[in-house]
Amino acid sequence: MKKLIAIAVLCLTVSGSLFATDTGRMWENLNVTALLSPELSFTVMPGHRWEFARGVGGATVDSYFNELFIGPTYTTKLDPTLKFKFSLWYYYMGFPTKTNGSYVSYPFTHNIELIPAIDWKVSDKLTVSDRLIVHNTFFASREATDAKQNGLSIMVREMVTLTYNLSEVDPKLNLILGDEIFVGLKESDNGAIPSGSGFYRSGVNSNRIYAGFSYAIDPMLIIVPQYVYETNYDNAGNLSGTINHNFYLTVTYLLKMF
């Protein structure tokens, strides 16, 4: 773990040159999950994101996003190698906005997420996961009228992840590689202009490539540091040239209630 921490510090140290034209961001999530039974759990997960470097285009370098997930997850084994999970979560998204160094607004959205996932244990070392998030935004405060604040846009996020156990190094250490694509299926029909801090637009919005590790400090405490390479697309579905380099840390704490 000391080597992993040293690598993370080195990445942040050299970020000044790395992000000369791109954006550097840090994400943090605290996942507290109560295990109510072998099949049922309940999660509360707050998160925060801040920007520490920005190249061309815009001046935002500070906290820019707060989030909160709340909801249950049902898990069942379909056979010894296949596990199915389904989550129904409420998702709060807040977007603090600064002008000339001062916060001037705080638009937020209310969302419901339907999250089916399949884990396939290919071998004792390798697990392949396919997770789908159906992200439904039903309220956006940034709109000026009640009629436009209430609506529905639908975004689908599919993520395929490979998890490989590095037992040669430490049985509690796993390598994680993943890819996630964001595709808008439905724009709100209430006349609101599609926005990343409101109702999403149709079409491909972004893609994220994940690379990192998970480490179980003990069976109930897991840390997951990752690097996320994020590309974005414009309204015509073309690669916009905006690239975000995200350092993502998730800390998971499990509470066994049975």
CATH of residue 151's domain is 2.40.160.40
- How many domains is the chain built from? 1
Which residues, in sequence order, are bridge partners of residue 149? none
Residues 207/182, Cβ–Cβ less than 8 Å: yes
Helices within the chain (DSSP H only): 2-13, 15-18, 146-149
To which residue do tokens 């943090």 refer? 28
Look at residue 102 in the predicted model and tell me its pLDDT.
76
Average pLDDT for 49-53: 92
Instruction: Single out the residue of 161, 151, 157 nearest to residue 224, CA to CA.
Output: 161
Look at residue 59 in the predicted model and tell me its pLDDT.
59
To which residue do tokens 């993502």 refer? 248
Residues 6+ apart with CB under 8 A from 96: 62, 63, 64, 65, 66, 103, 106
- Per-residue pLDDT of 126-142, as tens digits, reads 999 999 999 999 999 99
Cα(50)–Cα(214) distance, integer angstroms: 22
pLDDT band at 181 (very low <50, low <70, confident <90, very high): very high
Cα(53)–Cα(251) distance, integer angstroms: 24
Cα(167)–Cα(78) distance, integer angstroms: 26
Q: Give residue 209's domain range.
A: 2-256
Instruction: Single out the residue of 26, 25, 21 nearest to residue 55, CA to CA.
Output: 21
* Res 7 pLDDT > 80: no
Look at residue 16 in the predicted model and tell me its pLDDT.
46
- Radius of gyration, CA atoms only, the chain: 19
- Per-residue pLDDT of 234-257, as tens digits, reads 877 788 877 999 999 999 999 999
pLDDT band at 61 (very low <50, low <70, confident <90, very high): confident
Cα(223)–Cα(31) distance, integer angstroms: 10
Structure tokens at 49: 């994101």
Residues 117/129, Cβ–Cβ less than 8 Å: yes
At residue 48's C-alpha, the angle toward residues 4 and 210, to 5°, is 45
DSSP 8-state assignment for residue 74: E
| DSSP codes of every residue in 88-122 | EEEEEEE--EEETTEEEE--EEEEEEEEEEEEEE-
Structure tokens at 118: 């399949």
pLDDT band at 103 (very low <50, low <70, confident <90, very high): confident
User: What is the reported pTM?
Assistant: 0.90
Look at residue 57 in the predicted model and tell me its pLDDT.
61
Cα(141)–Cα(198) distance, integer angstroms: 8
Instruction: Single out the residue of 175, 249, 164, 165 nearest to residue 212, CA to CA.
Output: 175
